[in-house]
Amino acid sequence: MLSPGRHIRRVLLCWIALALSPTNAATAGCQLVKLLEMPVTMEGLRPTVRGSINGGDALFLADSGAFFSSLTSAAAAQYKLHVESLPPGFYVEGVGGAASAGLARVHALGFAGLSVANIPFLVLDNDIGSGVAGLLGQNVFRISDVEYDLANGAIRLMRPHDCGKSVLAYWASAGQAYSVMNIESPSERDPRTNGTAFVNGQRVRVTFDTGAATSVLTLAAAKRAGVTPGSAGTMPAGHESGIGRHSGQTWVAPFASFKIGDEEIRHTRLRIGELNLPGADMLLGADFFLSHRIFVANSQGKLYFTYNGGPVFNLSANPGATRTASPASPAAVRPSPAKQRGGLMPAAPPRAPLVSIVHGSTA
């Protein structure tokens, strides 16, 4: 029997292949086939996507940090879905601790005018707020390569064709610097996008998490880098929560450096917190995604990104108060470079990728 994750992957790939027009004859060189583009609206630091459940409008939070897509119990009731019990001992763990879960099947899930049948969702007893029905997780985003272009209001599912080891930062113009880093191979237990960064020279495991409004480093990882809540210059920064019923205190603290891929920020400040981050030392949240354009090349085990400008991290004590922006006004979510703390310095020379984009699917 297929697991729910493998089932949704197979169904969505069939859906996309059938629904989109085939490409013209392949040209020489690497092609990226755009399978699906999801319009994204930023509600503060929350990337939301419009869809439908059994013909009714539904709003989802795009959450690359979620291992599987889920619905709230209120949404399951609203759409009159049958919720099945999961085996004893099954639970979902997140920033706020652990929570029990059920399973429901959506007979018709729609995005961008396309519909797919019989899709499983976890059902969690949590309130995401703002009328959000649930989370879109890695069982959706892992079906192909995926581009997160939140500053321009889009998430794109992309399939490479004859790309091999080609550089897939296709939007980077000649002379524009980009960064590349290795990401970990996914597993059934942890299908998230994970990689390595360095804080004050100390290695940390990072998870790329669009569902986290702000980036945050655990207290244990901060301590390895020589920083604690009692360090000079550290200030309280409110509480954060997620799945589960607990929240954790956070602080903003000065650090000598943060390095990821070919980019390094020196003399910066990072949010640190007493949070439960299963399998990670740090979450790179929606603030990082807004300040970068990111291509997760699952096909290569690599991640490409370019810097959009402005502050890399949102250090507000109340990030939920960030002004709402829409895909029609991407400039509204790009803070002024003059407010950047520390300098973002590409460590690699500018390089230009050679990739063409095709709309549709390949055989």
Average predicted confidence (pLDDT) for the chain: 81
Q: What is the rounded CA–CA span in Å between residue 16 and residue 107?
A: 17
Assess whether pLDDT exceeds 60 at residue 275.
yes
Contact predicate 32/166, CB 8 Å: no
Q: For the chain, how far is it from start to end, CA to CA, in angstroms?
A: 26
**Does the CA dihedral 210-216-221-224 come out positive or negative?**
positive
| % of the chain with per-residue pLDDT over 70 | 74
Q: What's the mean pLDDT in 56-78?
A: 95
pLDDT of residue 10: 53
Instruction: Identify residue 360 by its one-letter amino acid code.
Output: G
Please say whether the beta carbons of 61 and 69 come within 8 A.
no
Contact 116, 140 (CB under 8 A): no
Please answer whether residues 238 and 321 qualify as being in contact, where contact means their C-beta atoms are separated by less than 8 angstroms: no
* Structure confidence at residue 113 (pLDDT): 82
> Distance between CA 116 and CA 108 in Å, rounded?
6
Q: Which of 133-142, 201-210, 273-282, 297-306 has the lowest mean pLDDT?
A: 273-282
pLDDT of residue 306: 97
- Full-model pTM: 0.81
Domain layout of the chain by residue ranges: 4-141, 167-353
pLDDT per residue over 291-343, tens digit each?
Answer: 999 999 999 999 999 999 999 999 986 654 433 332 222 222 233 333 233 33
For residue 30, report the phi and psi dihedrals to the nearest 5 degrees: -70, 135
The confidence score (pLDDT) of residue 334 equals: 30
What pLDDT score was predicted for residue 362?
37
> Given a cut of 70, is residue 245 above it in pLDDT?
no
Query: What is the CATH number assigned to the segment(s) 4-141?
Result: 2.40.70.10
Which pLDDT score, from 0 to 100, does residue 342 have? Answer: 34
In this predicted model, which residue has the larger pLDDT, 260 or 326? Answer: 260
| pLDDT exceeds 90 at position 49 | yes
Mean pLDDT of 109-124: 89
Q: How far is CA 105 from the centre of its chain?
A: 24
pLDDT in tens, 132-170: 999 999 999 999 999 999 999 999 999 999 999 999 999
**Would you state the pLDDT for residue 98?**
56
The CATH number of 167-353 is which of 2.40.70.10, 3.20.20.70, 3.40.50.300, 1.10.150.120? 2.40.70.10
- pLDDT of 55 higher than 50: yes
Per cent of the chain over pLDDT 90 is 61
CA torsion through residues 93, 98, 104, 108, sign: negative
Most confident of 87-96, 130-139, 222-231: 222-231
268 or 93, which is more confident?
Answer: 268
Range scoring the smallest mean pLDDT among 58-62, 198-202, 270-274, 323-327: 323-327
* Average pLDDT, integer, range 235-259: 79
Rounded CA separation 312/348 (Å) = 18
pLDDT for the residue 333: 27
Which pLDDT belongs to residue 347?
40
How high is the pLDDT of residue 208? Answer: 98
Residue with tokens 């407010």: 339
Given a cut of 90, whether residue 228 has pLDDT beyond it is: yes
Which of 121-135, 218-232, 241-255 is least confident?
241-255
Q: Are 135 and 61 contacting, i.e. CB atoms less than 8 angstroms apart? A: yes
Given its phi and psi angles, is residue 45 left (phi above 0), alpha (psi -120 to 50 degrees) or beta?
alpha
Judge whether 4-141 and 167-353 match in fold. Answer: yes
Distance of alpha carbon 286 from alpha carbon 311, whole angstroms:
12
Rg (CA), the chain: 20
